[in-house]
Chain A
Amino acid sequence: MRGANLAVAIEFEESTEWMDVCALDDLVPWYGGCALVQGRQVAIFYLNEDGLYAIDNYDPIGKANVLHRGIVGDINGELVVASPLYKQHFSLITGQCLEKKEAHVETYAVRVVAGRVHIGVRVPD
């Protein structure tokens, strides 16, 4: 699992534009931060050696921009964040909600370059 995020980053390399959002030090390990990326709110989670993850900040069930303020952990081995509003879990890897199959959030590529966190924005062809 640890390498997973790196693979995502490489896969997107060609069609991805990277946006510098903050220093790695600005993030609290095992907690979320929220970045504004081209008008979208992106929740970023820094899980020490488990890597960095980024998903939509908007909770489609609670209908508020709060996911970065949820508790992160794992459920049956899947890294998740629990929405602080009604506690549904969203996979940090796929964005899928574990409790409600219709609920799903976007995931984004993240990388760290020289201590700075970059979010991948897919460039339309």
Chain B
Amino acid sequence: MQTRTRLVIIGNGMVGHKLVETLVGSAVAQRFELITFCEESRYAYDRVHLSEFFNGKNAQDLSLVAEGFYSRHGVTVHLNDKAVAIDRANKIVTSARGHEVDYDKLVLATGSYPFVPPIAGSDREGCFVYRTIEDLEAITVKAQASRIGVVVGGGLLGLEAANALKSLGLETHVVEFAPRLMAVQIDAGGGAVLRSKIEALGVRVHVAKNTTRIGAGSERLHRLEFEDGASLETDLVVFSAGIRPRDEIARACDLALGARGGISVNNHCQTSDADIYAIGECAVWNNQIFGLVGPGYQMAQVASAHLCGDAASFTGADMSTKLKLLGVDVASIGDAHGKSHGARAYTFIDEPNGIYKKLVVSAEGQHLLGAVLVGEAEAYGNLLQIVLNGLGLPEHPEALILPVSPAGAPGLGVDALPDVAQICSCNNVSKGELCAAIRAGATSLGALKSETKASTTCGGCAPLVTQILNKEMARLGFAVKKDLCEHFPHSRQELYHIVRVERCKTFEELLDKHGRGRGCDICKPAVASILAACWNDYVLQKEHAGLQDTNDHYLANMQKDGTYSVIPRVPAGEITPEKLIALGRVAKQHGLYTKITGAQRIDMFGARVDQLPHIWKDLVAAGFESGHAYAKALRTVKSCVGSTWCRYGVQDSVGLAIEIEDRYKGLRAPHKIKMAVSGCTRECAEAQGKDVGVIATDKGWNLYVCGNGGVKPRHADLFATDLDKATLIQYIDRFFMFYIRTAGRLQRTAVWMENMEGGLEYLKDVIIHDTLGIGAELEAEMAAVIDTYECEWKKTIEDPDKVKRFRHFVNSDKKDSNVIFVHERGQIRPATEAEKLLAPRARGGLNQLP
């Protein structure tokens, strides 16, 4: 056996870890003994997503190293220990804690440090940089006692830091030396649009300001003084004025450095000493440093291959970027500034919407050289591919940045890309590799991500990866499987028929006869919904309770912190003053947040599970019923005030809306259903945006079907005109039952109808002309559901056994200590993760309004 090569890696950041990961996964992993020095107190973490620390991610969420990964692979890690010297002659690395380790090969992956400009006073307390988790923790603590924060530096990271200060509740300023924001990446026009967008968000931007001194302030802790004589007072300062490669250890052992610092490397990432490599942000290649993780990962791969004896070269990397800064999309591609000889530009500016786009094309107009996108960056993926692959430009290149006409974006589909096109630049994954993985069985986005790593870093390539997945799947002729899930080889429609025909009453029975395994969160709620539509049994009955999604199980909507919201039914939005007062009283008594919903009723938030039966006891006593906001069921029938009050109304829309809401309340369906009734053609109830809409005419009622708002709004189609009330209700009965019988899981009426062979005309045949001869049957099925309606909440609070289920703990009456509220605008709201960190005092218990 060969003796093992001892490889020492200095730096366990993103790139250092990537190298370890690549090496231990290689075919010759056994040949190496790996030792790494990690200056920070934790293993490598995802610096790219560092700012998500303020959205509730903690150090563990950000970690790149799965538990036990290093020990499993026999990697020795010196945590919290900085390498301080390299003795190249004897090949020994010495660390701050006094370890002396000899090496055969050495890799420097020391990253970079944030540059703090030499300004007097920049070392005052309350001045920070933005690079490590510790930096962010310190900023969080300081922000607690601050009102104003200033970021010095208006580049990419500066704006990210500004966002963080804003989310910590500070009045935020950005001070930039250059005459515009993000000067490196974008041009003057883009900078101006970006600035106005960011100012609109409440961040103050000061450009062309040279900070000369930081001293004590008179109102706040510090005063920043500028060259032009102006000044700005603040409590907290974050420096984000660029990065510098950490080359100190290389400098001390006389390795060759770049003209402006950084450790020089060749195409194999070797330094001037062939046994020492440098990769990531500390390396300089061809006089360039690369401050992005993608090129760093490429270097790690090249160094790994070279160490394993394979030929591999680093030949530079694309520095295009796409980011969301303070909610604004910003992208820069290739030669964004048009510096190439003879380059010409196309520009599109939409001031009202804050959109700026520029294309830089070659002198003859045949090739795309670069682009800048601010405010809308959807075209990024496409444009980047055109630049990287040198694809020819269409006849009218401007079409690539002009607003999309309803006919759809012009442009080049993923089909136009060659197999070698690099789709994910962070992880260097090509179109060909993606397609190969899909062919080998990675047929979902999740599988494709874990198989190829594409789209797992910055996520910017996700839309393209998805497009390629869909195209390739279609090309391979994958039939879209109709099976509900792995437990049932049937579609929802088939299961519905089985349940009806075999008079099947429980999930167990259906699974035994027609399924396999034990079921899951897809088939259980779907079957529960079918059973409810067919037999209308109480949903919390023993056999059904475990099938319900948590919302149906607790008859309320789970919110982000695990508490619930409560929406009582207010048919047609009509409510008496007594009932309004009752709602206010109940909310106040139980300390709930209240809000008028988008569907004419009142939502009460922040109810713990143990509070729900008490709240409902009070609501039922005041005459309320469940609003089924938690269920795939009829939600509301929205109404306008109608002929009773409105001078234009031609029919009593409120009266009809109440009647039909009472008729269909509790009706469970493949997805939620919404209705509305308007009293005249002015349509104040927005009936044409509903699954079923009714609009009054002077002769009767017009019926509209298959509309919705939401993700993909669709106007309803006119179905029948001038109906009398009996016919109207007959049609609606048939329409709903036919939908419940035949729609797919979670398919709303619009999608159901659009997928139906024959579409609207066929639907009219079935419902109006009864061509299938099932009209009477559908009406009878609906009548059975209506006759067996009970308010689920009323039934629940009357049954002590059921009420017992509404406890957080089976063995204690304590409350969930992770539910913490703070006050805002006179009401409660859930504390953010950052606030929970700030308020350890509140951890012990609930901080609620009395």
Q: B561 interface residue, CB < 8 Å from A? A: yes
Tell whether A82 is near chain B: CB-to-CB under 8 Å: yes
Q: Does B206 contact A (CB under 8 A)?
A: no
Q: Are A22 and B810 in contact (CB under 8 A)?
A: yes
B725 in contact (CB, < 8 A)? no
In the complex, B61 has a CB within 8 A of chain A: yes
Instruction: Report yes or no: B810 in contact with A69, Cβ–Cβ below 8 A.
Output: no
Given A66-B562, A71-B520, A71-B525: A28 in contact with B486 (beta carbons within 8 A) = no
A74 to B561, CA, bound (A): 26
In the assembly, what is the distance between CA of A55 and CA of B676, in Å?
A: 45
B3 at the interface (CB under 8 A from A): no
Closest beta carbon of chain B to A65's beta carbon, Å: 5
CB contacts (< 8 Å) of A50 on chain B: these are 518
> Are A85 and B558 in contact (CB-based, < 8 A)?
yes
Distance in Å: Cβ of A29 to nearest Cβ of chain B = 7
Residues of B within 8 A of A84 (CB): 549-551, 558
Asked if B521 is at the interface of the complex by the 8 Å CB criterion, the answer is yes
Closest B residue, CB atoms, query A81? B521
Q: Is the CB of A102 within 8 A of B520?
A: no
- In the bound complex, do residue A64 and residue B519 qualify as a contact, i.e. CB atoms below 8 Å apart? no
Are B545 and A36 touching (Cβ within 8 A)? Answer: no
Q: A40 to B523, alpha carbons, bound, how many Å?
A: 32
Q: Does B19 contact A (CB under 8 A)?
A: no
Type the 1/0 row for B50-80, where 1 means its CB is closer than 8 Å to any CB of A. 0000001000110100110000000000000
Categorize the interface residue count of chain A. Answer: 35 or more
Closest CB-CB distance, A107 to chain B, in whole Å? Answer: 14
Distance between Cα atoms of A58 and B816 in the complex (Å): 11
Of B66, B525, B805, which is within 8 A of A28 by CB? B805
Q: Across the interface, do A41 and B816 meet the contact criterion of CB distance under 8 Å? A: yes
Question: Which of A28, A73, A87 lies in contact with B545, CB distance below 8 A?
Answer: A28
- Tell me which residues across on chain B come within 8 A of A74, comparing CB atoms: 517-520
Q: Which residues of B lie under 8 Å from residue A44 when comparing CB positions? A: 810
The answer to whether A102 touches B810 (Cβ under 8 A) is no
Q: For A99, what are the chain B residues with a Cβ–Cβ distance below 8 Å?
A: 446
Which of B518, B523, B553, B808 is the one whose CB lies under 8 Å from A34? B808
Question: When A60-B61, A99-B446 are in contact, do A75 and B520 touch as well, CB less than 8 Å?
Answer: yes
Query: In the assembled complex, which residues on chain A have CB atoms less than 8 Å from the CB atom of B811?
Result: 21-22, 35-36
Q: Report the bound CA distance from A62 to B558 in whole Å.
A: 12
Smallest Cβ distance from A38 to chain B, in angstroms? Answer: 11
A85 vs B67: C-alpha distance when bound (angstroms): 24
Contact of A76 among B486, B550, B558, B816 (CB under 8 A): B486
Fill in one digit per residue for A54-95: 1 if any B CB lies within 8 Å of its CB, else 0.
000010101111100111111111011010110101000000
Evaluate whether A69 and B547 lie within 8 angstroms (CB atoms) in the complex, with A36-B809, A50-B518 already known. no
Report B721 CB to chain A, min CB distance, Å: 43
Query: Which residues in A have their C-beta under 8 angstroms from that of B450?
Result: 101
Beta-carbon contact of A73 and B808 below 8 Å: no
Q: CA separation between A104 and B805, bound complex, in Å?
A: 27
CB distance from B696 to the nearest CB of A (A): 42
Cross-chain contact of B816 among A22, A29, A65 (Cβ < 8 A): A65
Residue of A nearest to B811 (CB): A21
Chain B positions within 8 Å of A34 at CB level:
808-810
B32 close to chain A: CB less than 8 A: no
State whether B546 touches A85 (Cβ < 8 A). no
Using known A-B contacts A69-B550, A69-B553, A85-B560, determine if residue A36 contacts B521 with beta carbons closer than 8 Å.
Answer: no
In the complex, the answer to whether B524 meets A73 with C-beta atoms within 8 Å is: yes
Residue A27, interface by CB 8 Å: yes
- Say yes or no for B589: interface residue by CB 8 A criterion: no
Instruction: Say whether B597 faces chain A, with CB atoms less than 8 Å apart.
Output: no
Query: What B residues does A69 contact at CB under 8 A?
Result: 550, 553-554, 558, 562, 609
Residues of A within 8 A of B525 (CB): 71
Verify if B814 is at the interface (C-beta below 8 Å from A): yes
Cα–Cα, bound, A74→B515 (Å) = 13
Residues of A within 8 A of B67 (CB): 104
Q: A73's contact among B60, B519, B560, B833, by CB below 8 Å, is which?
A: B519
Q: How many residues of B contact A (CB 8 A)?
A: 44
Q: Is B818 interfacial (CB 8 A cutoff)? A: yes
User: Which residues of B lie under 8 Å from residue A101 when comparing CB positions?
Assistant: 66, 450
Q: Does A31 have its Cβ within 8 Å of any Cβ on chain B?
A: yes
Report the tally of A-B residue pairs with Cβ distances under 8 A: 108
Residues of A with C-beta under 8 A to B353: none
Which residues in A have their C-beta under 8 angstroms from that of B561?
A: 64
Q: A64's contact among B546, B805, B818, by CB below 8 Å, is which?
A: B818
Closest residue of B by beta carbon distance from A19: B811
Interface residues of B in 512-545 (CB under 8 A from A): 517-521, 523-525, 542, 545
- The verdict on B812 contacting chain A, using a C-beta distance below 8 Å, is yes
A14 at the interface (CB under 8 A from B): no
A30-B511 Cα distance, complex, nearest whole Å: 14
Closest beta carbon of chain A to B830's beta carbon, Å: 9
Pairwise interchain contact A33-B810, C-beta atoms closer than 8 A:
yes
Contact A73 B521 (CB under 8 A): yes
**Which residues of A sit under 8 angstroms from B814, Cβ to Cβ?**
36
* B517 neighbours in A (Cβ, 8 Å): 73-74, 77
The residue in chain B whose Cβ has the minimal distance to the Cβ of A79 is B518
Q: A35-B810, A36-B812, A102-B66 are in contact. Are A65 and B520 (CB under 8 A)?
A: no
Q: Which residue of B lies closest to A67 (CB)?
A: B562
Residues from chain B with Cβ under 8 Å of A47 in the complex = 518
Q: CA–CA, A87 to B98, complex, Å? A: 48
Q: Roughly how many angstroms separate A20 CA and B692 CA in the complex, as a whole number?
A: 53
Is A125 part of the binding interface, using a Cβ–Cβ cutoff of 8 Å? Answer: no
- Residues on B with C-beta less than 8 A from A29 are 546
Q: How far is the CA of A101 from the CA of B68 in the complex (A)?
A: 13
* Interface positions of B from 370 to 406, Cβ below 8 Å from A: none
A50-B518, A71-B524 as given contacts; A66 in contact with B550, CB under 8 Å: yes
Which residue of B is nearest A80, CB measured?
B520
Of B61, B547, B558, B809, which is within 8 A of A35 by CB?
A: B809
Give chain A residues whose Cβ lies under 8 Å from the Cβ of B812.
35-36
Query: In the assembly, what is the distance between CA of A89 and CA of B520, in Å?
Result: 10
Contact B560 A64 (CB under 8 A): yes
A35 to B520, CA, bound (A): 23
- The answer on a CB contact under 8 Å between B550 and A87 is no
Least distance between B624 CB and chain A CB atoms (Å):
24
Option from A33, A66, A71 in Cβ contact (under 8 Å) with B521:
A71
Name which residue of chain B comes closest to A59, CB basis. Answer: B562
CA–CA, A80 and B485, complex, Å: 15
Q: Which of B489-527 contact A (CB under 8 A)?
A: 517-521, 523-525
Please state if B810 and A66 are interface contacts (CB–CB under 8 Å). Answer: no
Cβ B518 vs Cβ A28 within 8 A? no
| Chain A residue contacts of B520, Cβ below 8 A | 71, 73-75, 80, 82
Residues of chain A within 8 A (CB-CB) of B554 are 69
Chain A contacts for B833, CB-based, 8 A: 63
Beta-carbon nearest neighbor of B562 in chain A: A64
Neighbouring B residues of A65 by C-beta, 8 Å: 562, 808, 816, 818-819
Taking A69-B609, A73-B487 as given, write out 18 further A-B residue pairs in contact, using a Cβ cutoff of 8 Å, ordered by the A residue number: A30-B546, A34-B808, A34-B810, A35-B810, A36-B811, A41-B816, A44-B810, A64-B562, A69-B553, A71-B550, A72-B518, A73-B519, A73-B521, A74-B518, A74-B520, A75-B520, A89-B521, A102-B63
- 14 A-B pairs within 8 Å (CB atoms) are namely A21-B811, A22-B811, A28-B546, A62-B562, A63-B833, A64-B818, A69-B550, A69-B558, A71-B547, A71-B550, A72-B546, A73-B518, A84-B551, A84-B558
Interchain residue pairs A-B with the least CB separation, the first 6: A84-B550, A73-B520, A82-B521, A64-B562, A30-B546, A71-B521
Chain A interfacial positions (CB closer than 8 Å to B): 21-22, 26-31, 33-36, 41, 44, 47, 50, 58, 60, 62-66, 69-77, 79-80, 82, 84-85, 87, 89, 99, 101-102, 104
**Residues of B that sit less than 8 Å from A by CB:** 56, 60-61, 63, 66-67, 446, 450, 486-487, 517-521, 523-525, 542, 545-551, 553-554, 558, 560-562, 609, 805, 808-812, 814, 816, 818-819, 833
